[in-house]
């Protein structure tokens, strides 16, 4: 039976720091897809939030000499504030220090244990606190984590409880290969399958003996639950805490490639053990690189969200992240690239066209009511792009249409038409063409669309304000 419900999640981000470009992009994509589905009449549930436990957050709180709970409370305020500023409207802002989350996690773990899927053992190996992950030799480069500073990596030997991950590997491999467990996009699906088939997958340590900032194991409170395990469970616990059970399971978990293994292998294995439904789809995107290099503090090439907002505005930033989305590969960005896209797609594209048409049609009575769903049904390319979460393609297609409308204006020269009726007819056609394309960016640029609609779609056309000022 077709359902009109859509549950989408982002990873819940560590609250050790404020959001960076990567967090911003995944969350904006999820917000845009939620707004898109809403336009189509879906009931939506959009979850984002903070992953508040574990060593990484604890160490940062300690460094600031603030109690961990106060530290994560402050961070949650900052993150929520960020999303509000970026026009991101989650239905649930999940926090793992929520006492109800702790309660449900305890129940779930007890169930896994009662199923015979948990045993005690000794872990010996490398742990990267940046990833909050035990690393295999293969995942390290010269003994270092490719994503974090060398001081974040250390050898650990501790008594842990283990989850029988290996027991579920054949089943998960089969589900992923058959597509029953859908993992997009192709690059990252292949990567996971080749790891599943090429390596002997070890059981997963699910408790930490020396990390106090976490959820106590119900049967052995000297241990806390490994932060990733309880974080993954948030996608389930949140639906109970916020009384949205009917939305479970997620239609799509949206995430960056670094989180793929956890979402495509560990999370499904925990769910299989619990006999709870698997997510319908896992969508993995690549990372942003800056001028060919990995973005990082030590390289001094970090693009800060606030700098983007200052330069391009909130909606300019939302648009640029979509236009450069690392879909099926990593994406190389630079201020030069952002400037070029901003000028050609926004300032000279949609912004200039709105101004040009509203100047030509000012005072005319064109009354052009446009509907998102109808416009989409006339645009298969864009519909397919949205449906496959390819937001770069959405931007490219709309840009093409804007260029075509500009060419049509140049060809038809409405300013040379003397007869009012004939001129109004042509202007109505051009304005309609424009609105039908522009509305398709409504999920990306909600405020810009309101301004366009207000000036061009009204009884009497008003001149549109400058929506995106050209950058030099
Ligand atoms: N707390 C875990 C997730 C638990 S989810 C049950 C975590 N948090 S994180 O703060 O490190 O955020 C990881 C996510 O940030 C990635 O999945 C991705 O969405 C985003 N990105 C981090 N770096 C990125 C880039 N360089 N480029 C694009 N997105 C990236 O891991």
Instruction: State pLDDT tens for residues 256-295.
Output: 999 999 999 999 999 999 999 999 999 999 999 988 887 7
Q: Is 263 in the pocket of ligand 1 (CB under 6 A)?
A: no
Q: With a 6 A CB cut-off, is 386 part of the ligand 1 pocket?
A: no
Kindly report the number of other CB atoms within 10 A of residue 356's CB atom: 16
Does the pLDDT at position 250 exceed 70?
yes
Q: Which atom of ligand 1 approaches the CA of 51 most closely?
A: 1
Residue 39: helix, strand or coil by DSSP? Answer: helix
**Is residue 322 annotated as a catalytic residue, yes or no?**
no
Ligand 1 atom nearest residue 17's Cα:
10
Matching residue, tokens 């416009």: 375
pLDDT the model gives residue 116: 97
- Ligand 1 within 6 A of CB of 259: yes
What's the 374 CA to ligand 1 centre distance in angstroms? 35
Is 0.75 topped by the overall pTM?
yes
Ligand 1 atom 5: the closest Cα is on which residue?
11
Catalytic residue among 38, 43, 148, 177: 148
Ligand 1 in contact with 49 (CB < 6 A)? no
Q: Supply the DSSP string of 270-305, one letter for each residue.
A: HHHHHT-PPPSEEEEE--EEETTEE--TTTT-PPPH
Q: How far is the CA of 461 from the centre of ligand 1 (A)?
A: 45
C-alpha span between 346 and 312 (Å, rounded): 10
Does the C-beta of 79 come closer than 6 Å to ligand 1?
Answer: no
How far, in Å, are 157, 343, 432 from residue 352 at the CA level?
Answer: 62, 10, 16
Kindly state the greatest CA–CA separation across the chain.
87
> What does the pLDDT average to over 300-323?
94
pLDDT digits (tens, 9 = 90+) for 110-158: 999 999 999 999 988 888 888 888 888 788 888 788 878 888 888 888 8
113 is catalytic: no
Q: Is the model's pLDDT at 2 over the cut of 60?
A: no
Burial class (CB in 10 A: 0-12, 13-18, 19+), 4: exposed
Which pLDDT score, from 0 to 100, does residue 299 have? 67
Give the whole-angstrom CA distance, residue 285 versus residue 256: 5
pLDDT surpassing 90 at residue 296: no
Q: Contact 158/166 with Cβ under 8 angstroms?
A: no
- The pLDDT assigned to 298 comes to 61
Ligand 1 touching residue 266 (CB < 6 A) = no
The closest residue, in CA terms, to atom 27 on ligand 1 is: 287
Which of 53, 101, 102, 131 is labelled catalytic? 131
Instruction: Judge if the beta carbon of residue 295 lies within 6 A of ligand 1.
Output: yes
Strand partners, 122: 159
Alpha helices for 364-419 (secondary structure H) = 372-377, 380-387, 391-412
Q: Is 100 a catalytic residue?
A: no
Sign of CA dihedral 99, 101, 102, 104: positive
In the structure encoding, which two tokens stand for residue 373, read together? 């769903």
Instruction: Calculate how far, in angstroms, residue 11's C-alpha sits from the geometric centre of ligand 1.
Output: 7
Distance (angstroms) between ligand 1 centre and the Cα of 188 equals 15
pLDDT at 154: 82
Atom from ligand 1 closest to the CA of residue 11: 5
Cross-strand bridge partners of residue 48: 93
pLDDT tens digits along 348-405: 999 999 999 999 999 888 877 899 999 999 999 999 999 999 999 999 999 999 999 9
Catalytic choice (111, 257, 294, 362): 294
448 lines ligand 1 (CB under 6 A): no
Say how far apart CA 158 and CA 141 lie, in whole Å: 24
Q: What are phi and psi of 172, to 5 degrees?
A: -65, -40
Give how far Cα 114 sits from Cα of 111, 118, 172, 201, 208, Å.
5, 8, 21, 23, 20
Distance between CA atoms of 238 and 248, rounded to whole angstroms?
Answer: 10
123, two tokens? 């872990």
Separation between Cα atoms, residue 446 and residue 454, nearest integer Å: 12
Does the Cβ of 256 fall within 6 Å of ligand 1?
yes
* H or E stretch at 306: helix 305-323
Alpha helices of 324-390 — where are they, by DSSP H? Answer: 335-341, 352-361, 372-377, 380-387
**Within 10 Å of residue 323's Cβ, how many Cβ atoms?**
24
Q: Is 233 helix (H, G, I), strand (E, B) or coil?
A: helix
Place of tokens 């990390």: 211
What tokens were used for 138?
């293969």
Q: Is 128 annotated as catalytic?
A: yes
Question: 253 with 235: CB under 8 angstroms?
Answer: yes
Judge if the beta carbon of residue 260 lies within 6 A of ligand 1.
no
**pLDDT given for residue 366 in this prediction:** 80
Q: Which residue owns the Cα nearest ligand 1 atom 21? A: 22
Distance 264 CA to ligand 1 centre (A): 15
Tell whether the model's pLDDT for residue 17 goes beyond 60. yes
Ligand 1 pocket: which of 26, 97, 130, 283 to mutate (most atoms within 8 A of CB): 26
């Amino acid at each position: 039976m077709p359902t009109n419900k859509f549950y989408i999640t982002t990873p819940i981000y560590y609250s050790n720091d404020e959001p960076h470009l990567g967090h911003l992009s995944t969350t904006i994509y999820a917000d845009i897809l939620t707004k898109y589905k809403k336009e189509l009449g879906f009931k939506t549930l959009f979850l984002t939030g903070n992953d508040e436990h574990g060593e990484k957050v604890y160490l940062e709180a300690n460094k600031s000499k603030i109690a961990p709970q106060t530290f994560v409370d402050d961070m949650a305020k900052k993150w929520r504030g960020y999303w509000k500023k970026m026009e991101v409207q989650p239905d649930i802002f999940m926090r793992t220090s929520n006492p109800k989350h702790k309660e449900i996690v305890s129940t779930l773990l007890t169930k896994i244990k009662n199923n015979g899927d948990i045993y005690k053992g000794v872990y010996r190996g490398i742990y990267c606190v940046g990833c909050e992950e035990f690393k295999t030799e293969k995942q390290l480069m010269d003994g270092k984590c490719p994503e974090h500073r060398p001081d974040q990596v250390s050898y650990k030997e501790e008594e842990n409880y283990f989850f029988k991950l290996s027991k579920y590997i054949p089943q998960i491999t089969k589900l992923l290969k058959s597509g029953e467990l859908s993992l997009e996009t192709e690059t990252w699906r292949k990567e996971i399958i080749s790891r599943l088939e090429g390596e002997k997958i070890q059981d997963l340590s699910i408790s930490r003996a020396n990390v106090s900032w976490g959820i106590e194991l119900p049967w052995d409170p000297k241990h806390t639950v490994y932060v990733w395990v309880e974080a993954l469970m948030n996608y389930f616990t949140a639906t109970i805490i916020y009384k949205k059970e009917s939305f479970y399971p997620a239609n799509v978990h949206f995430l960056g490639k670094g989180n793929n293994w956890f979402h495509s292998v560990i999370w499904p294995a925990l769910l299989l053990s619990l006999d709870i439904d698997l997510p319908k789809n896992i969508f993995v995107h690549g990372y942003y690189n800056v001028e060919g290099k990995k973005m990082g503090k030590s390289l001094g090439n970090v693009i800060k969200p606030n700098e983007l907002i200052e330069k391009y505005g909130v909606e300019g930033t939302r648009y640029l992240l979509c236009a450069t989305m690392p879909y099926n590969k990593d994406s190389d960005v630079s201020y030069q690239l952002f400037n070029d896209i901003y000028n050609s797609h926004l300032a000279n594209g949609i912004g200039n066209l709105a101004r040009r048409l509203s100047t030509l049609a000012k005072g005319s009575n064109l009354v052009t009511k446009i509907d998102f769903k109808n416009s989409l049904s006339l645009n298969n390319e864009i519909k397919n792009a949205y449906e496959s979460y390819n937001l770069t393609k959405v931007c490219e297609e709309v840009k093409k249409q804007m260029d075509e409308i500009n060419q049509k204006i140049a060809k038809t020269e409405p300013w040379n038409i003397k007869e009012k009726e004939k001129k109004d007819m042509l202007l109505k056609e051009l304005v309609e063409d424009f609105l039908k394309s522009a509305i398709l960016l409504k999920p990306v640029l909600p405020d810009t669309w309101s301004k366009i609609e207000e000036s061009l779609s009204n009884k009497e056309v008003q001149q549109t304000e400058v929506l995106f000022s050209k950058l030099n």
